Structure 1
């Protein structure tokens, strides 16, 4: 009878899975220009919907895949942060708004800046370093106190998980799994209808890119929620999720991994600081984006245009670092993964993110008009 893999082996598999998923995500987003900030900026600037539909397709594919993982028993949704019974409504809304405003100033979210870092953008490296430092300060440093005292304290303690299916099951005569499936089907139908309606505006590569991001999200949850799961860890005799920073199943998310990467760089000799799935995935995104740019002949060093450009990116990075931690995720962590998990907190965070992005784009358009006038 074959012996079960050791915890060390499973941890290495999770880390390798994170690197491969990151490589795929970096390559896909570089090739197809998948970008949540770009999707909203296109919509608010000139009514463009192509990249917004890519985002919607990623969420729809991710939602369908997650339902499959739940049905197969490969994922326990109640163990994810997205389904926590503590609904931090104010943190999600305010953090999402700050993050949305910041990602417009910084020309993209952390995931997009990771891709650009791989393509030679020194501007992206400065932005990422600032995001990581601010995220660390918001998690455990100077900014943690105002976050926990003024925002996280305003929360609703639910008796059940905060996924939309469970919440709706309290008022509708259907079970939570049935309602999650209904929501998934409705989302798939709505996505298909919108894709058909705007089919002339979409390239096949954009459809493939959106679907690929959704599939990579499902792969991340399968790796961290199934491959890395131990029903009984030999040292603690308790269930354990190996290789993740949160000790939970993790999907695509980049704010906490930025802080984790900073920990590794500054506390490398500390035996308690270890490589995690998220950090491994972030590294993969840099490498995947860089390899694609090199193959396309698009790799080149890029800096800031001027001092004003530097100020915008630094300010945007600070807002993203604080807002992303406060909202419990970034435009990928909440805007794709959280929505695909049908999290109520993700809905609030994305509402804030959209509002913050709209304000920032409107501000930039007004500044451009003033400069032209």
Structure 2
């Protein structure tokens, strides 16, 4: 009876995550939500609208998750983002690589799925190469280098890199009461930054930012409220059904690329099962496809030449390696990770932004030389 119940719960978790992925893909495609595009708009044109959309998504996701945590509906310490041992060198190097790679590949991990869903064949190649290199960084030849030379460079926190706790300890001798206040105040500041301009008050920014942010909250809610069981009958330990590492997993689109390819290649192996990361990838693709068909914007697109192919190839490799090193992408760290208010996630996100800005400046320099 227990096995039947567990199987039923896992099925609900996967279908619910798939539905959230559908919503994420449809909303992102409809509103042109894109982190790389947001950074490019600011660097190239001084246009902050998509950046405000991104900040709004972060603020909504963070407010939602912190609300779940404060009310006892989420245990943030069960995520990978609040580990007391912070491999800061991996996070920074990975973030820089990922940020530069997403510029070369015309979008981050989530944008690649959205472009693929809308008929972009370049995104298909990016998906495959990124998934392979992510797997190589998780368990293959790049993984050896990562484990031996980057991950061991760590900083040990006394408890965790939870930003409200760190700030409360810094400014107060009795921090307990201050922590939940800061947990709400920090995303409120982001909310004010996102909506502090009249140009931000338009349908695309509001729907894109709030919609994407709410899907991140929904994904967390599914994991914490549906997938969690306090005592697994086989291990007698707490478990998160449907996750890859038996930990609370939010949306992220780097390692799930690798696990999606693994599931497709070893489909007949019964030990390879669907996880929330894999079904989220499928959901985002199909959500983007559905919206593209509704808008009649679905069209096949391929490479324009050798340079375009080379840029996407190199960018995919950089994102696959960098995303694993940084423990996430612009969604994995930039939304799911930052929503936990982990200092490590903010540093990784900052590194992604710096890497993207550097690559954009390089592209502008190349164009100016050619003129």
For normalisation by structure 1, the TM-score amounts to 0.95
Contact 2:55 2:193 in 1 (8 A): no
Aligned runs of 1:147-226 on 2, under 5 Å? 147-173=146-172, 174-175=174-175, 178-196=178-196, 198-200=197-199, 202-226=201-225
Structure 2 distance, partners of 1:177, 1:219, is 27
CA RMSD of aligned residues (A): 1.8
Residues 1:298 and 2:319 are matched in the alignment: no
Give me the whole-angstrom Cα distance separating, in 2, the residues matched to 1:199 and 1:40: 20
Q: Kindly indicate whether the alpha-carbon contact (under 8 Å) linking 2:66 and 2:183 is maintained by their aligned counterparts in 1.
A: no
C-alpha distance in 1, partners of 2:176/2:105?
A: 39
**Equivalents in 1 of 2:29, 2:177: separation in Å?**
36
Q: How does 1:42-191 map to 2 (within 5 A)?
A: 42-173=41-172, 174-175=174-175, 178-191=178-191
Aligned 1:249-264 pairs, distance under 5 A: 249-264=248-263
SS for the counterpart of 2:127 is helix
Query: Deviation string for 1:251-293 (max 9, x for gaps)?
Result: 1211111011011012112222110001101100000000100
Structure 1 position 20, deviation (Å): 0.3
Give 5+ residue unaligned stretches, structure 1: none
Instruction: Verify: 1:357 aligned to 2:356, yes or no.
Output: yes
Tell me how far 1:106 sits from its aligned partner.
0.3
Match of 1:308 in 2: 307
- Report the CA distance shift for 1:97/1:298 in structure 2 as closer, same or farther (over 3 A): same
What's the CA shift string for 1:236-261, capped at 9, x where partnerless? 11111100112111112111110110
Deviation digits for residues 54-104 of structure 1 (CA, Å, limit 9, x no counterpart): 111111111111121112222111111011111111111110000000000
Contact 1:83-1:163 at 8 Å conserved across structures: yes
8 Å Cα contact 1:168/1:176 also seen in 2: no
SS in 2 for 1:143: helix
Shift in Å, 1:157: 2.4
Partner secondary structure for residue 141 of structure 2: coil
For 1:296 and 1:144, the matched residues in 2 are separated by: 42
Residues 177 and 225 of structure 1: CA distance in aligned 2, closer, same or farther (over 3 Å): farther
Shift of 1:183: 4.5
SS at match of 2:13: helix
Residue 193 of structure 1: how far off its partner (Å): 4.8
Gap change, CA 1:54 and 1:328, over 3 Å in 2: same
Q: What is the CA–CA distance in structure 1 between the aligned matches of 2:17 and 2:60, rounded to whole Å?
A: 19
Residue range with higher mean Cα deviation, 167-176 or 155-164: 167-176
* Secondary structure, aligned partner of 1:303: coil
Superposed counterparts of 1:299-338, under 5 Å? 299-338=298-337
CA shift in 2, pair 1:172/1:209, >3 Å: same
- Structure 2 residue aligned with 1:227: 226
CA gap of 1:55–1:237, structure 2 versus 1, over 3 A, is same
How far apart, CA to CA, are the structure 1 residues paired with 2:45 and 2:23? 30
Once structures 1 and 2 are overlaid, which stretch shifts more, 232-241 or 95-104? 232-241
The change in CA–CA distance for 1:176 and 1:269 in structure 2 (over 3 A counts) is farther
* 1:7 alignment partner in structure 2: 6
Aligned residue pairs total 370
Q: CA deviation at 1:110?
A: 1.1
Alpha-carbon offset, residue 190 of structure 1: 4.6
Contact map agreement 2:220 2:250 (CA 8 A) in 1: yes
The answer as to whether partners of 1:27 and 1:285 remain within 8 angstroms in 2 is: yes
